[in-house]
Amino acid sequence: MVAFIGFSLRRAWQGFWRNGLMSLAATATMVLMLVMLSGLIILLTGLDATLNYVQQEVQVVAYLKDSATPQDVASLEASLQKMAQVTQVNFVSKDQAYRDFLARHPDEADVINSLPTNPLPASLQINLRNANDYLDVASYLNNQSPIDRVLNIKETVDQMVTVIGILRAGGAVTLVIGGLIVLFIIVNTIRLAVVSRADEIEIMRLVGASDAFIRWPFIFEGALVGLLGAAITIGLLFIGQGPITSFLSDYFKVLPVDAGAAVGRNIALIVLGTGVGIGVLGSYLSVRSYLIR
């Protein structure tokens, strides 16, 4: 067994270097495809993070009656906190609302100051776990006595949820299609490398080599191509890390995560796994067509 593994590894190594040009072509294709794939993943991760961020920004704003007592408000706040859909509840007092208004519209200070009393209601600002829950929380609030009315942004929320859904689905489809294209191209390149050694496989069959002895050197060689391709790709991504991160934070202005560090490790693992996996799969499929008879 040890001798067999030694033999396979040795043959894989020889095969890789003796067919330098084919190995180079396969590795280069692998690198190109893996870079494209990781580019796609980085872009989609950025998109996803942005969408998450946007979703979390959806707030239910409920205006309180001026007659509502602090106790009523406090108990309402407490019951909201217990709801699974709610992440955070902020109480904005009448005074706070007044100051916010002035800060936002300094030109209209005269208008509001000319009124005898502060017309702005106190409100509760409720952050949601998911924008889809907007209606649940809004209808709950409508039935509560301290609530005057709930700001109706249902249409806006619905549109946003739809757009986010389409973007998510589009991203997933792009990733799957991109992945399949990458798989197809790499498997074919490796197939070329195997086909260029068809005579070697034929001789092995003629002299009575078992399937395992024919197959495993090629599989190890495919793994080697994958490993090398992945290593080069990760190296390139590491070099490009700085520019990529700054591009992403420029492009997705509100991106709340650091794409360089958190995503980087995942992408390295994906690249490595994909590279080696596709290398092995490509070799396996290519050699198989010579073994089946």
Partner 1 sequence: MQGVTKSYPNGRVALRGIDLTVPEGDFVFLVGPSGAGKSTMIKLLIRDELPTRGEVLLDGRDLGRLKRREVPKIRRKIGVVFQDFKLLPNKTVRDNVGFALEVTGARRRDIDPAVDRVLRVVGLTGQADQFPNQLSGGEQQRTAIARALVHNPRLFIADEPTGNLDPLISWEIIQLLLRINELGVTVLMATHNAEVVTAVRKRVVALENGRIVRDEVDAAYHRED
Does residue 211 touch partner 1 according to CB under 8 A?
Answer: yes
Least distance to partner 1, CB of residue 281, Å:
22
List the one residue from 82, 206, 243, 250 that touches partner 1 (CB under 8 A).
206
| Site stretch for partner 1 (CB under 8 A), options 2-10, 44-52, 68-76, 131-139 | 2-10
**Pick 22 or 278: Cβ nearer partner 1:** 22
Mark 143-182 with x for binding to partner 1 (rule: CB under 8 A) and - for no binding.
----------------------------------------
List the one residue from 173, 209, 254, 261 that touches partner 1 (CB under 8 A).
209
Cα distances (Å, whole numbers) of residue 64 to 52, 86, 119: 29, 18, 12
Does residue 194 touch partner 1 according to CB under 8 A?
Answer: no
Does residue 4 touch partner 1 according to CB under 8 A?
Answer: yes
**Pick 4 or 238: Cβ nearer partner 1:** 4
Size of the site for partner 1 (CB under 8 A): 19
| Site stretch for partner 1 (CB under 8 A), options 1-9, 102-110, 129-137, 264-272 | 1-9
Distance between CA atoms of residues 72 and 278, nearest Å: 62
Mark 17-46 with x for binding to partner 1 (rule: CB under 8 A) and - for no binding.
-x----------------------------
List the one residue from 107, 155, 199, 250 that touches partner 1 (CB under 8 A).
199
| Site stretch for partner 1 (CB under 8 A), options 181-189, 200-208, 257-265, 278-286 | 200-208
**Pick 105 or 288: Cβ nearer partner 1:** 288
Does residue 214 touch partner 1 according to CB under 8 A?
Answer: yes
Distance between CA atoms of residues 22 and 28, nearest Å: 10
The strand pairing partners of 147, in sequence order, are 64
Least distance to partner 1, CB of residue 212, Å:
9
Residues that bind partner 1 (CB under 8 A): 3-4, 7, 18, 199-200, 202-211, 213-214, 293
